[in-house]
Amino acid sequence: MTVHYPELAERARSQRTAQPGVYGKVDFDRMPYRFTADLADKSALPAWVDKRARVLADDRAVELIRTTTMLGDVVADPYAALSATYGVKGVIRMLARACREGIDAVPDAPAELRTFVAAMERTPAWLDMQLVEEGARHARVGAAYLGPFLNRGAFLATFLNTYAALPMALTGALTGRRAAHRINETASFFAITTLPGALDRHGPGFEAAAMVRLMHSIVRYNALTRAGRWDVDIYGIPIPQVDQMPAGLINLYLAAMSARRRGRTTFDEGERATLEFSRYRGYLLGLPEELLPTTADEIIQLFHARAACLRHDFDATCAELVRSTMDAYLRPRRTVQDRAFEVVERSWSKLFVLGFFGGDRKAAATAGVRIGPTDVGCVALTAPFLVGRFAAVVAANQQRLLRDAMDAHTTRIVEKRLADYGRAEFVTDPQAYPAR
């Protein structure tokens, strides 16, 4: 029964009438097997993180997770369905042109494209673009100096649950040689959005967000209409909004947990700016505002509620995704320097994943992430430089006389990272999906 979020629930149900060819057979009043609020079931929330009974006692949070588990993208999905008429490349070309030149630059622009672009152009009432730019400046530091060493680990976290990982497995996007491309493409998106002015209407981050939304919608469309392996009764909606939230807000969750450990209940000035930046980036990606909380406590509760309602499972599909991600070579070249960087980066990624298991190496190894003495040694040897450099730049950014010069240097580093990641295409190949 919907009590707290009736409008959001209606938005989810509207998918069926708006796209009967895609969502017509989906019962939005029936929760998939992946969702569980039964204390007898094992969930994705580790006991050392929070008490599941306490989290599930919050009816409002549980209802939000339940509703957004069945929510796709009500404006991007109808446009993605036009790939059956225009082809994947066709819908990508039209969207790219609309982002760069405006919707009127697209000859005979479909109504679905106009609706999609207009939704992204709509300015939310809470938005403070000056604060967004300040938040991007803070986020640039992490993208420049820490991102390359943590991206793989953050990506791995997506594959630690069967029900959240399946869409990637269906596309074949993370097997063999495609793994590195997809990891770097994701890293590229998060890095490019931190550039100055990137989230402005005609900025590169705005276009990248539109492309990511389209890619997710095309995956959703093909999974529901072509992929015989997809079972809505078990998995719900492919790439639901509730599964997109963690990637966009993980930095805020870590900041919120840090603040709580220090006895703070509110964000400081820099964290508040980063919050505004991350919320607007999530908004452009299509997250409903209900999944864009504004306080540290709300962010923590949202993350824990999602995990508490996600049934635990780690199957052979997850194991293969973890293996291919760990084996992927991410550097653009194979010089001695690149190979050394790869070794260090992989070790840092493993230690980052270890954090998701509360430091339990045995549990991490069971999931396919094995941490050995070499990994510990690599991190120990490089930590003084990497962490020290990051801390020094953060400190310099707080000094008015150094801020502009330091930010200009950081921006150049981010641009260099983007060159290393390679050109992001943000596409998915429908031919990779299994036939019915």
| Alpha carbons 306 and 205: distance in angstroms, whole number | 27
Predicted local distance difference test score (pLDDT) of residue 173: 56
Contacts of 225 (CB under 8 A, 6+ apart): 21, 22
Predicted local distance difference test score (pLDDT) of residue 434: 43
**For residue 67, which of 119, 13, 15, 19 has the smallest C-alpha distance?**
13
Predicted local distance difference test score (pLDDT) of residue 401: 92
| Alpha carbons 34 and 41: distance in angstroms, whole number | 11
| Alpha carbons 86 and 77: distance in angstroms, whole number | 14
Q: Is 148 helix (H, G, I), strand (E, B) or coil?
A: helix
Q: What is the mean pLDDT of each run of 10 residues along the chain (436 residues)?
A: 90 96 93 96 95 97 97 98 96 97 97 98 96 97 95 87 83 68 92 97 97 95 81 94 93 93 91 96 97 96 98 90 90 94 95 90 91 95 96 92 95 96 67 44
Domain ranges of the chain: 46-423
CA torsion angle 254 260 262 266 (round to 10):
100
What letter does residue 59 receive in the DSSP assignment?
Answer: H
Predicted local distance difference test score (pLDDT) of residue 436: 33
What CA–CA distances, in Å, run from 274 to 247, 250, 278, 396?
15, 12, 6, 17
Predicted local distance difference test score (pLDDT) of residue 159: 87
Residues 283, 124 contacting (CB under 8 angstroms): yes
CA torsion angle 50 51 56 61 (round to 10):
-20
What would the two tokens of residue 126 be?
């809470």
Instruction: Match 């790219």 to its residue by tokens.
Output: 96
What CA–CA distances, in Å, run from 88 to 116, 214, 218, 304, 376?
16, 10, 8, 36, 44
